[in-house]
Amino acid sequence: MQLEVKQEIAQRISNISVSSTMKVAADADRLRREGVDVVDFGAGEPDFPTPDNIKQAAVRALEQNFTKYTPAAGTMELKQAVVERHAKDFGTSYKTSECVISVGGKHVIFNLMQALIDPGDEVIIPVPYWVTYKDVVNYAGGKCVFVDTDEASGFTLTAAMIEPWLTSRTKMVLINSPSNPSGAVLDNAEFEKIYRLTNDRGIFLMTDECYCHFLYDSKPFSIAALPGAKETVLVAGSLSKTYAMTGWRIGFGLIPEPIAGAVLKLQSHSTSNPTSIAQKGAVEALRGPQESVQTMLAEYRTRRDFVVQRLRQIPGVTCAEPRGAFYAYPNIGAALGSTGIANTLQFSERLLEKAHVAVVPGEAFGTDKHVRISYATSMHELERGLDRLHRFIADLV
């Protein structure tokens, strides 16, 4: 008797979609392989190499055969390095039992949603948001509650904008400052007010600190440093951008002990430990010289100034000034509608096809008139790409 093979994909997978930032990268890659000279503003990763001292630490780890399983939530050495660096940079006081090491910051965020969100739980997410938030909340069966911010005020968020959306079902508020994609930075006092709103109601406040060292006008700040904040604040951290280590896949959570236990359980049955040699590199990143971070920040600042100035010269384009991270989020609404281009997805496809510039459509981040430009690329590429973008839009409007 022949068994009928059930080929339907599980329902929970249909609740999520392929990351559109990855789709742009794939499209740009395909064109490049066809020999097209593509300028890539899509990639959300530093163009700098991983600093040498970090690479050498991983080489040493290999030579010393540090190539076996480690504890599923990371080595004690790396947890210690994480809590020490966080204490030094932000004045927090975490214990290693409140730290988990994961396979990148994305993994921490995914695991925390799996560990905390039940079907119907609401998660407040300011718009524009990093694409992944929506999908990981949906995958956990949660409900995203989007809170709009305003381009005219630089996409900045205030506690007053969050408060009306808090309900008895709100489980978490998710803050990403500096923001991917807008570069907006939440004012420290407003951050504190949001913390009070959430903490008073027993709601978790997740702070995605992926870009926390790339600030142009303010000093690094972690809401987790407030007295008592450790009980309801969930820090999602990453070494990817800070140390130009995107491929190494090391992130961390600084979270209450019972939640760390839940994440450990999940990791022990899924990924097990983050790569052993990458963990050794991460220890060196956190404990070794920190100058490379400031060098990258200075370069990003020069590029930010150049990109914003050039974008504002394009007919019909407006651009809020990014105050952190390495993205600009210009409004290209003038190039939509009567130009025959219906939305930012079509705009991005047309731009790639005709002008060979890769950007990420704003629909991926929850707004309908913007595109994201990553300026984590050389000045030469920025000049070439912005010339092309200028011509492309000028010809349309």
- Buried-exposed string 77-102: b where 16+ CB fall within 10 A, e elsewhere: ebbbbbbebbeebbebebebebbbbb
For residue 128, say if its preceding peptide bond is cis, omega within 30 degrees of 0. Answer: yes
CA distance 394 to 23: 26
In whole angstroms, the minimum distance from the beta carbon of 76 to ligand PLP comes to 21
The verdict on 50 binding ligand PLP (CB under 6 A) reads no
Print the binding letters for residues 268-307 with ligand PLP: x by CB under 6 A, - otherwise. Answer: ----------------------------------------
Q: Looking at residue 96, what DSSP letter applies?
A: G
- Nearer of residues 325 and 382 to ligand PLP, judged by Cβ: 325
- Nearer of residues 238 and 279 to ligand PLP, judged by Cβ: 238
Q: Enumerate residues 179-218 that contact ligand PLP by CB under 6 A.
A: 180, 208, 210
- Nearer of residues 111 and 170 to ligand PLP, judged by Cβ: 111
Cβ pair 202, 232 in contact under 8 A: yes
Q: Degrees (nearest 5) of the Cα angle 360, 362, 320? A: 100
- Nearer of residues 128 and 330 to ligand PLP, judged by Cβ: 128
Which one of residues 238, 276, 292, 377 is an interface residue with ligand PLP (CB under 6 A)?
Answer: 238
Q: Which two tokens stand for residue 325?
A: 């991270």
- Nearer of residues 70 and 102 to ligand PLP, judged by Cβ: 102
- Nearer of residues 105 and 366 to ligand PLP, judged by Cβ: 105
The verdict on 251 binding ligand PLP (CB under 6 A) reads yes
The verdict on 40 binding ligand PLP (CB under 6 A) reads no
Please report where in the chains the tokens 């978490």 appear, as a residue: 172
Which one of residues 75, 222, 240, 377 is an interface residue with ligand PLP (CB under 6 A)?
Answer: 240
In whole angstroms, the minimum distance from the beta carbon of 365 to ligand PLP comes to 10
- Nearer of residues 137 and 210 to ligand PLP, judged by Cβ: 210
In whole angstroms, the minimum distance from the beta carbon of 396 to ligand PLP comes to 29
The CA–CA distances, whole Å, from 303 to 151, 316, 359, 379, 381 equal 21, 22, 16, 7, 11
User: Nearest to residue 369, comparing CAs of 299, 325, 316?
Assistant: 316
Print the binding letters for residues 88-107 with ligand PLP: x by CB under 6 A, - otherwise. Answer: ----------------xxx-
Q: How many binding residues for ligand PLP (CB under 6 A)?
A: 13
For residue 274, say if its preceding peptide bond is cis, omega within 30 degrees of 0. Answer: no
CA distance 33 to 48: 23
Phi-psi region of 329 (alpha: psi -120 to 50; beta: other; left: phi over 0): beta
Where do contacts with ligand PLP occur on this chain (CB under 6 A)? 44, 104-106, 130, 176, 180, 208, 210, 238, 240, 246, 251
